Structure 1
C-alpha cells in the first residue's frame, strides 16, 4: 500500500507535462521606432491563411491551433516591419514582437533632382540632410547651416532598412552636390558630424 501511494504521488505530476497539444494564445506587440502613428496594416499567419487587419499599435492576442513552428508577416503602406518570435511557439514562449521602421521617404531627393526643385524646397524651409542616430538632438553647426544656407538636419532612428539607407545616401549626396556647385566646399567647413553617406 505504501508503494502504491508513493507511485501515485510520483506519477501524477508528470502526466500534465505532455498534454500541451491544445490551442495556444500568443501575444503580438509593437515597437514603433518612428514618429508616425500606425493607422493600418495586416498581420498574417502564413500557412494558416489567416489575416488580421490592424488599425493601431496596441498589443493584441491571436489563437493558434497548438504548439509548433509558425511564420508571421506584417505589412503596412507606411512602415517596414521587422518581426521577432520564437522558433517554436509554446504556451510559455509565445511573444511576437513587431518593430516598425520608416519606409522609404518620398520627400527625399533623387540624384536626378533639378536645382530649381531643390531651391524651391530650400525656400519652403523643408530641406534637410538625413542623419541616423540614437538621439534626436541636432548639433549646433547644423542650426548655423540652416540659417546660412537654408539646409538643416533631421535625425531619424538608428535602425534602418536597406531601402531607407540607400534613399538617405542618395538624398544627402544630391544635396551636397547642389551646395558644392552653389557655394563651393565652404558650406561643409565646421561640420563635426558629416551627413549620412558622405
Structure 2
C-alpha cells in the first residue's frame, strides 16, 4: 500500500511539473503619452475569459496556460488605449505593451485597439462583435482634417463601427496597422452584409477597394 501511495505521489509531482512548465508568464508594460492622472482600467485576455481591474499604472504580469496566440485588450475611460503584443506569446516573446494617448484627440470615446506586433491583425468574428456591441471598433484614417465625415453618424448607428482620425504624418508601422485593422473590418462587413453596406460608407479608409 505504501509503495502504491509513493508511486501516486511521484506521478502527481511529474504531472504538476509538466503543467507548470507549460504555463507562460507575460509581462504587461505601460507607455503613457498623456498628462492625465491614471485612476483605473480593465485588462482582458479573450482566450481565458479573464478580466483584471487595474488601479495603478504599474507594470504587471499575467500567467497564460501555455505558449500560443492570444488576444488582449485594455479599456479606460480616461484614454484611448492601444495594445501591442507578439503574434505568438512564448518564453522569449512575452511583452504586452499598453500605449495610452489622449482621449480628446478622438471623435469617439471609449476606444481600444489591439494589434499583433509584426503580424497581420486577425480579430475573430466574436471579438469584432464584442467590440461593436461595446462601441470600441473603428475605421482608422490618417489626415489633416480631424472632423467626422458628413453623415458618418448614420453609418455608425446602423453598423456600430466608429471612425478615428490619426495624425496626417504616417509612419510605415502605423500605416500597416491601420490598413490591417480596416481590412479586417471590411472583411467582416462583407461576410455579414454582402457588398451593399459599401454604398453607405461616406469615406473610404485605408485598405478599402
Query: If the length of structure 2 is used for normalisation, what is the TM-score?
Result: 0.43
Larger-gyration structure (1/2): 1
The structure whose RCO (Cα within 8 Å, separation 6+) is larger is: 1
Query: If the length of structure 1 is used for normalisation, what is the TM-score?
Result: 0.46
